[in-house]
Each structure stands twice: as C-alpha cells, then as structure tokens.
Amino acid sequence: MRQLSFAQVCARRLDRQGLVSPLPGAAAVAARLGGVHAQVLSAAELSIGLRTRDSTRVDVREALWAERSLVKTRGPRFTVHLLATEDLPIWTGALSALPIQPHKLLTEEQAEQVVAAIADALRDAELTTDELTEAVVARTGAWAGDRVMDAFQDKWPRWIEGMSLATRRGAMCFGPNRGRQITYTNPTRWLPGFQPAEARTALAEVVRRYLYAYGPATPAHFAQWLAAPRRWATELFDSLGAELEQVSVAGTAAWVVAGDTAAPTGLPDGVRLLPYFDAYSVGCFPREHVFPGRAAERALAGGQAGNYPVLLVDGVVAGVWHQRRSGRRIDVTVEPLGRLTAPQRRNLDDQVHRIGEILEATPRLTIGEVTVGPHA
C-alpha cells in the first residue's frame, strides 16, 4: 500500500486545485473543483480568479452570462455553485440519483407535473419566482399555488417544494438577476439537447473527479462533501471495486483512483487567501489536519468550514481574513494565528495585490484581529 504523509497530500491538492499552477479559465476551474460555491458571487469570483493567471470578476461574469461556459445552479450539498456547463449532464445525473426525503406537500404525480411545467415555462424565458408561480399554476392547476409551504415567517406556494427535484433533473437553473430579483431559466438554452447522464456513470465520474482533486479521501469524506448518507457513499465506493485503490495517509486508510498515487516531490509552501466556502477549505479532509490546533477554534463555525475566509500557510489553515469594499478601495484585514516569516509576508502582499486585481479595486492590507463573525 502506498504511504503518503499529510504534507504530501496537501501538496498534491494544492497543485491539482490550481493553487500552484494556474488553470486555463473559469470553466476549467469549475470542472476541476466539482463546482465553485456561489451563494456569494464575489467569493466565487475570487475562488476562480486565484486559480487563473489574469482573470477578473468581469471574466467570470462573461463566462456565466455571455459565453455561457458556466452555469449557476445547485451542486454539491445542493448549495448554489458555478458548474462548467459541459459538466451539467454529469452533475444532474449524479444529483438525481442521490437518496432524498420524499415530498411532504406534493404527491409523486404532482411533483412530476411541476417539473414538466417548470421546464416548459423556462424553455425560452428568464422568470422571477412570482412569474414562475403564475406559469406553473397555469400549466398544472390552482393547487400548485396554494401557500402551504413554511418559509421563515411566511408561506410559499406548494409547487416550490418541487424546485429541488426540477433542479436535480436539470429542468431549471439560475438566470441573470433582474435588479435585485433572482431569475430562473432552462439550461437547455446554454446546452442544446442536454440530458442528464445515466446515474451510475455520472456517480462514478463524480467520485473519480472528487478523488483526483481532493483525494486521498474516504467514503465519509465524500459523503460530507456531497451531503449524502455515509452508508450510501460507502456502498458507492464498494461498487467501483478495482477502479479505486487504497493508500495510507499518515497511517490512516483512504482512497484514490486506481493508479493515481503520485504526489509532488516538494513540500507544500506559500501563503494563500481563500474566500468564503472555497473548495479547498470545504472539500479537503480530515478537518483536524486541514484546520490544526487553534485554526479549528478560529476558522470553523460549529465544525463547519467555509464560514470564514481563511489564511492558508503551507497547505493548512493558519488564520482568517476579511475584506470590506468602499468604492474603488478594498480594506483587507488578515489575522494570522502565528508569526509570518519575511518570505511569507511577501507572499501575503502578493495575494492581497491579486485580490485587488480580481475584484478591480485598490487593496489596503492590515495585519490584525478580524472582528466580524462568521459569514459576515
């Protein structure tokens, strides 16, 4: 069994995730990472920009809304991600195959009607939630508009329970915002003739890609990254049989794609500033090694990664940071958990400069305590 140190694993992940050598563009980053978390679009722009040579937030938006090489939809953990458009058949095939809870407000027949209505209404349109409600009700019946779904301190129409199924199947994705309003559209406008891939083929490909970028990893790690049951993930890994190979990481068993046991010869080095919910901090495990010692207390929120932008030193979390924009200026505050060496300080200056380039602003760095809370 191949033996790997955790330092070798960090070096391998940094390299494969585009944090050592840049990837060729936004779609290539999304494909390599299995999607870029985009609940906060500026964070997605940073995640992509830090992995490409010269791209800015404008290039990411062009890829999304003009080139359409990216699609904004639900991805891993069923959270908002930017996916490579060409990967949509794989992702919808895989997500449709995940075990999910049955609908509470829709019968199976009603759910199918809602998915068909959504796909038809959005085929050549970009609609807000209210507009889509009217379209779905017109295509199904008044029952779809009944306001029976709990939503904070309000009630949503019944059909909205079917949005999850519609998104998993690729019947809908996000369109460009209309002012402050979210819109939805049909991804066939991006990818004519699109159909979800066959489930087992899609799931096997998602496992292979995850292990390439984030491995070595266990079924439990994969389950946490995807938000799937652990037993189901274990059975999935078992079903792949000889396609996977076991290795030892610091004495603990983990898996890679068969034959893919190589690691960079050098140790991980350098300083990086990763934004909210960056793929490296969310998808890399074990957490106690990625967030060692005080980093777990400072940079995790209830054990969850991603709620704080992190300072990465030599492949592990070594602090947090925050940026605040005011016009054309960005104030970047970095809170290291230990003393930075002179070369690391120069690396940090370079990272801050690059963040300014990506967000098209003039950055100003302050070393000190980050006083804002998680996801602020």
Q: Identify the pLDDT of residue 153.
A: 82
Average pLDDT value for residue range 195-211? 97
CA distances from 104 to 150, 156, 178, 202 (A): 11, 14, 31, 28
The answer on pLDDT for 85 being more than 90 is yes
Residue 376: per-residue pLDDT: 67
Q: With 80 as the cut, is the pLDDT of residue 275 above it? A: yes
198 DSSP assignment? P
Predicted TM-score (pTM) of the model is 0.95
Is it the case that residue 25 has pLDDT exceeding 90? yes
Domain range annotation of the chain = 3-92+198-257, 100-189, 271-367
pLDDT confidence bin for 100, thresholds 50/70/90: confident
Residue whose tokens read 């199918």? 112
The pLDDT of residue 101: 86
User: What is the b/e burial string over 96-122, where b = at least 16 CB atoms within 10 angstroms of the residue's CB?
Assistant: bbeeeeebebbeeebbebbbbbbbebb
Query: Cα angle vertex 353, ends 327, 65, to 5°?
Result: 65
CATH code at 100-189: 1.10.10
Whether the per-residue pLDDT at 174 is higher than 90: the answer is yes
Distance CA 36, CA 30 (A): 6
